[in-house]
Structure 1
Amino acid sequence: MNQNRSIRMQVLCALFAAVTAVCSQITIPIQPVPITLGTFAVLMAGGFLGKRYGLLAIVIYLLLGMAGVPVFSMMRAGFSVIAGPSGGFIIGFAPMAFVVGLVSEKLGYSFKNMMAATIAGTAVCYIMGLAWFMFLTGTGIWASMVMCMFPFLPGDFAKILLASFLVSKYRRRLVGEL
């Protein structure tokens, strides 16, 4: 990878970290875990930037939040957010971006392949988030799914469709071929 390409990808990492922070503020504050547009930004980061740079962008976002910059939903920050009920979902953003990038790099960037990648990434985030929520609260799997997954499914499906469409259509224009 030439130096210009490397600098471009680093700038895009910073951009997607910022986009994730902004999208995380677009929130429907339900309890115990808010609905945010942050997952949409994570899907886009993984799809546009690939597994390596998509993961890096989200790790930057997570480190900013843990360092006290109010990038998590509802302008929250710090380890207390990660230790709370939504912490598993927030930490799940990193493997979510990685899985989306990995699957799309392996399968290609067609709409159908991006659907598979974004569904796989979303599933990873749900698994991590539900596991943490169950551990933290002692709630069973069904009750956890009722509280922390089922209300999110319609919105996540819309995010999956939109992210898959945008990445399949505009990825080459934004980052070119890796």
Structure 2
Amino acid sequence: MSNSKLKKQILCALFAALTAIFSQILIPLPFTPVPINLATLAIFLSTTLLGTYYGTLSQILYLLLGLVGLPVFAHFSGGASIVLGPTGGYLIGYVLIALVSGLLIELSQKQGYAFLTLPVALAAGMLFCYLPGTLWFMYVTHTKLLPALSLCVFPFLLGDALKIITATILTKKLKKHIS
């Protein structure tokens, strides 16, 4: 195994751990089971710093660790019941953020687009978290679309935009140290 591949695998595990840690930095909201947390910042960074494959793999690892019961999800929770619960679709969406954002970043790099495409790719990836998360929330809680969006998306838009900006800035500063 090459040193480069081993380094990527170690970074993949570290970003899965960072996602678990950032999931605990949260602000519960009294009107929704979905807390504000920093997990998406870790996902954005795993994607922008490790690329599509290892960024996505780090989030699959995070999800699998939680599925087997390790307390990596928000509120130090874990287990299949969390993934099958009202917020489970967002956990699946974490993998989609990494995959979609990573693919868009790779595409934009091949096309020679500017650095500003990073926030656009991350925002697009976030949509792929909101979509399954909100649909699953609606299914589990029997909530209609507008109330579900009011509980699970609208309160998080500003915070997610700030995390996208932060990830874009941090990526520019950290990329040379990770590569």
| Equivalent residue letter for 1:144 | A
Return the offset for 1:74.
0.6
Match of 1:144 among 131, 141, 148: 148
1:59 match: 60
2:176 match: 172
Measured in 1, the distance between the counterparts of 2:176 and 2:104 equals 17
Question: Is the 1:114–1:167 Cα contact (8 Å) retained in structure 2?
Answer: no
Measured in 1, the distance between the counterparts of 2:41 and 2:97 equals 11
What number of residue pairs does the alignment pair up? 174
2:71 match: 70
- Could you tell me which runs of 5 or more consecutive residues in structure 2 were left unpaired when the two chains were aligned: none
Match of 1:129 among 128, 133, 150: 133
- Could you tell me which runs of 5 or more consecutive residues in structure 1 were left unpaired when the two chains were aligned: none
Residue 37 (1) aligns with residue 38 (2): yes
**Paired residue secondary structure (2:40):** helix
**Paired residue secondary structure (2:116):** helix
Return the offset for 1:173.
2.5
Measured in 2, the distance between the counterparts of 1:46 and 1:128 equals 19
1:93 match: 94
Residue 102 (1) aligns with residue 103 (2): yes
Deviates more, 1:14-23 or 1:98-107: 98-107
Measured in 2, the distance between the counterparts of 1:128 and 1:47 equals 22
Instruction: Please report the TM-score for the alignment, with normalisation by the length of structure 1.
Output: 0.93
1:44-73, Cα deviation, whole Å (9 max, x unpaired): 111111111011101111111111110000
Instruction: Please report the TM-score for the alignment, with normalisation by the length of structure 2.
Output: 0.93
Q: After the TM superposition, list the runs of 4 or more consecutive aligned residues in structure 1 that deviate by more than 2 angstroms.
A: 108-111
Question: Is the 1:110–1:168 Cα contact (8 Å) retained in structure 2?
Answer: no
1:9-40, Cα deviation, whole Å (9 max, x unpaired): 00110110010000000011122211111011
| Equivalent residue letter for 2:81 | S
**Paired residue secondary structure (1:32):** coil
Query: What is the percent sequence identity of the aligned residues?
Result: 43
Return the offset for 1:110.
4.7
**Paired residue secondary structure (1:33):** coil
Residue 120 (1) aligns with residue 124 (2): yes
2:22 match: 23
Measured in 2, the distance between the counterparts of 1:141 and 1:163 equals 29
